[in-house]
Structure 1
């Protein structure tokens, strides 16, 4: 039944995207007619509320078979306080500051929706503290979304390096026993942006690595973002499904979603993360409060806390 839902979703998304793609040139002309000046104006210091990045995502699996691939990707780094429109389906700058106990800018790295479709395996919030005229990257928030279910988990991590218990079923070819080793650089410190994630498994060791390496484009103020990101989410989804098919063809074991086999997997992820922290493998976290209703849980270990917030799958996957 889920396969049927998946096929119907793909067909519906394809038809909608084709129709909206034909309308893109008319929308572009209308925007230029209504507002001939660029809507994303730079500030006096020359910075822009949205920066555009181009780069490459690379995946490598080393167990039980070797499988690697890479694909071209485009991202937007959005200053949530200064962008003219808040990105849909993401937390606000004020909420990010409250969660991370910071007082400075909040930058969101994400792939914007394109012609009616959104696909973001990972979005990252860069949360800064300001002391006088100096701002430094203090914490990050990761939003991990799985395909095709559209479930999501968010959590705080130390950008320099951190080890976080795996809290979401991101792939039907991975179990839930691993931990994510994640780190990223400060995007405002230069033109290059990097994120790396490796999976540490109790039996297989460090058997999976994913990375993003991207370079900031010279200017985004004159760019038409609708054309720049045209079909970008669709391309990411195609790569995900295509390589999932390849792993199935290589006889990699299919892992059923833990909601069917281990309904308490979220609580177990919190327990595993507590153990990582108490053993000194994870950095200290401070969160102001538990948020997000009954799908939010606060992992507590003495004076250290890490916020996990889950969003359930939407229909028809729920």
Structure 2
């Protein structure tokens, strides 16, 4: 690490309207204590900043400091030699939008101490879920955060995660009233983040984070035009990230 995770993102909405897509996609897999440090102009494609995650690095210590405080308030203490592996988007040409960031907190022997799922919406809000994965990398957690204008905060997430030396996969499915509402999956192969690979991947996927933002809005307009009801939203309290 740092590495690229190159693959696809897919989304399938089942009710009250069918809608599905799959797009090419890439993210970064990084150690939060060893983030990419590339010179200009490559820095325009590789910057990962504390201000884009969790508590904005407000109290110091960068992303690791924010995550340590978040976990400590919930009864989990990280040791100094624990490693935090992060799946995320980097800023591309000054812009980032990161619908889903995952943190795996690993003990020196490779054991999993904690997993955190950070979700962002298009209203500039974010929320973090502390997950307790079983031996298969699965868990369920109540939805607490307004993400899509077409879903309120009711329901339960069924989460599946896979991380090994070659591949990353994260699936988040929303269940409500005994029915599956939607399923979102990001999956990809782990590749060395050489200078040539970063440039080649960025060119192939166009400005990635700009593209993510545009596609989310285009799919939203498609659903709105077909009269899928808009759900009311209440402002989210960022204290939940601290």
Which TM-score applies when normalising by structure 2?
0.78
Q: Match for 2:221 among 245, 255, 274?
A: 245
Partner of 1:93: 64
3-state DSSP class of the match of 1:176? coil
Cα distance in 2 for residues equivalent to 1:75 and 1:206: 27
1:286-301 pair list within 5 angstroms? 295-296=238-239
Post-superposition shift, 1:155? 2.1
Runs of at least 5 residues in structure 1 that lack an aligned partner in the other structure: 1-47, 260-265, 267-293, 297-307, 311-318
Post-superposition shift, 1:228? 4.0
Give the conservation status (yes or no) of the 8 Å contact 2:97–2:213. yes
Q: Match for 2:15 among 59, 63, 76?
A: 63
Instruction: Spell out, residue by residue over 1:66-85, the C-alpha distance to the aligned partner (whole angstroms, 9 max, x if none).
Output: 11111111100111112355
Give the conservation status (yes or no) of the 8 Å contact 2:4–2:26. yes
Cα distance in 1 for residues equivalent to 2:66 and 2:233: 30
Structure with the bigger percentage of helix: 1
3-state DSSP class of the match of 1:234? helix
Cα distance in 2 for residues equivalent to 1:84 and 1:153: 24
Partner of 2:27: 75
Cα distance in 2 for residues equivalent to 1:63 and 1:95: 37
- Is 1:172 aligned to 2:149, yes or no? yes
Post-superposition shift, 1:166? 1.3
Give the conservation status (yes or no) of the 8 Å contact 2:99–2:120. yes
- Is 1:222 aligned to 2:195, yes or no? yes
Change in CA separation of 1:295 and 1:67 when aligned onto 2, cut-off 3 Å: closer
Q: Please tell me whether Structure 1 or Structure 2 has the larger radius of gyration of its CA atoms.
A: 1
Cα distance in 2 for residues equivalent to 1:228 and 1:250: 34
Give the conservation status (yes or no) of the 8 Å contact 1:61–1:208. yes
Give the conservation status (yes or no) of the 8 Å contact 2:31–2:86. yes
Give the conservation status (yes or no) of the 8 Å contact 1:138–1:158. no
Q: Match for 1:184 among 140, 143, 161?
A: 161
Change in CA separation of 1:106 and 1:239 when aligned onto 2, cut-off 3 Å: same
Partner of 2:58: none
Partner of 2:184: 210
Post-superposition shift, 1:183? 2.1
Post-superposition shift, 1:258? 2.8
Cα distance in 1 for residues equivalent to 2:115 and 2:199: 27
3-state DSSP class of the match of 1:116? coil
Post-superposition shift, 1:216? 1.0
- Is 1:110 aligned to 2:88, yes or no? yes
Which TM-score applies when normalising by structure 1?
0.61
Runs of at least 5 residues in structure 2 that lack an aligned partner in the other structure: 38-46, 55-62
Cα distance in 2 for residues equivalent to 1:116 and 1:156: 29
Post-superposition shift, 1:125? 0.9
Partner of 2:60: none
Give the conservation status (yes or no) of the 8 Å contact 1:79–1:106. yes
Give the conservation status (yes or no) of the 8 Å contact 1:55–1:73. yes
Cα distance in 2 for residues equivalent to 1:226 and 1:170: 31
Change in CA separation of 1:173 and 1:185 when aligned onto 2, cut-off 3 Å: same
3-state DSSP class of the match of 1:233? helix
